[in-house]
Structure 1
Amino acid sequence: MSFKKLSCIIEELKICAEQGMPILIEGKKDENALKKLGINGTFIKVSGSGLKLFEIAEKSVKLSSKVIILTDFDKKGEQLAKRLAGDIQSLGSYPNLEIRRKIMGITRKFIKDIESLPRHMEQLELEEKPDGVSDNFDHQRFCVRY
């Protein structure tokens, strides 16, 4: 069941990215992980950009009035998420922390960062389908109920 729930959250993230919402992440490895999950969008890296957090917030709100914050699940990631959310909100835009919270809720005991997400998804899928046989999982029907 965790695989299906996490798949729905990833699907929600894909839709948001397709709608043009920028995704704030910590670094290149996070971007690669999300792309591996099929998420193609505007990624804005928080670490190593040379910009201050407020400048990153300004850059993101110029792209969309809604911004997804997807920092890691450790203490540093939590602090970044809170500061970015405050800055984005102060600029009159909506910081989406809900997707991050949903992913954390399912993966908290197993992973601490976004870059580990694809491998974790693979493990969950193997646990739910050890024989490799697909159960014809219907994202749309399941995810609407979830």
Structure 2
Amino acid sequence: MSFRRLSCIIEELKICVEQGMPILIEGKKDEKALRELGINGNFIKVSGSGLKLFEIAEMAAQSSSKVIILTDFDKKGNELAKRLSSDIQSLGSHPDLTIRRKIMGITRKYIKDIESLPRHMHQLELEEHPCGDPW
């Protein structure tokens, strides 16, 4: 059941990306993981950019009226999500934490970061279809 729910959330994320919404992520490994799941969007990385957090929020807010925040589920990721959300909102854009919350709700006990998502999805798929057979 979790595999289907998580797959639906990933599909929801793909639709958002197709609509031109940028995704704020922490780093390169997160981007690689999301691409592995078939999400090829406008990724804005928080780490390693050399920009201040507010500048990153500004860049995201300028690119779209709605910005998806998909930081890790650990303490640092939660803090980043809060600060980015606040900054984006202050710039007149809409920060979207819905997908992050949904993924966190399903995976909370198992993973703490975005980069672990493909491996977790694969494990869930194997549990649901142990022989690789969908029926």
On whether the aligned pair clears a TM of 0.5, the verdict is yes
Deviation readout 1:48-77 (Å, 9 max, x if unpaired): 110011100000011100000000000000
The equivalent of 1:105 in structure 2 is: 105
C-alpha displacement of 1:5: 0.2
Using the alignment, how far apart are the partners of 2:134 and 2:52 within structure 1?
Answer: 46
Cα deviation code 1:19-41 (max 9, x no counterpart) = 11000000000000000000010
Work out the CA distance in 2 between the residues paired with 1:18 and 1:38.
12
User: In the alignment, which residue of structure 1 is the partner of 2:96?
Assistant: 96
Residue 124 in 1 paired to residue 94 in 2? Answer: no
Q: Which amino acid aligns with 2:58?
A: E
Distance 2:109 2:49 in 1: 30
Structure 2 CA distance, aligned partners of 1:75 and 1:13?
A: 23
Distance 1:36 1:18 in 2: 16
Size of the aligned set, in residue pairs, is: 135
The residue number in structure 2 matching 1:74 is 74
Aligned-pair identity in percent equals 81
Structure 2: segments with no counterpart, 5+ residues: none
Q: Does 1:30 align with 2:67?
A: no
Structure 1: runs of 5+ lacking an equivalent? 136-146
- Aligned twin of 2:62: 62
TM-score (norm 2): 0.99
2:44 matched to which residue of 1?
44
Q: CA deviation at 1:7?
A: 0.2
CA offset digits 1:93-137 (Å, max 9, x no partner): 1000000000000000000000000000000000000011124xx
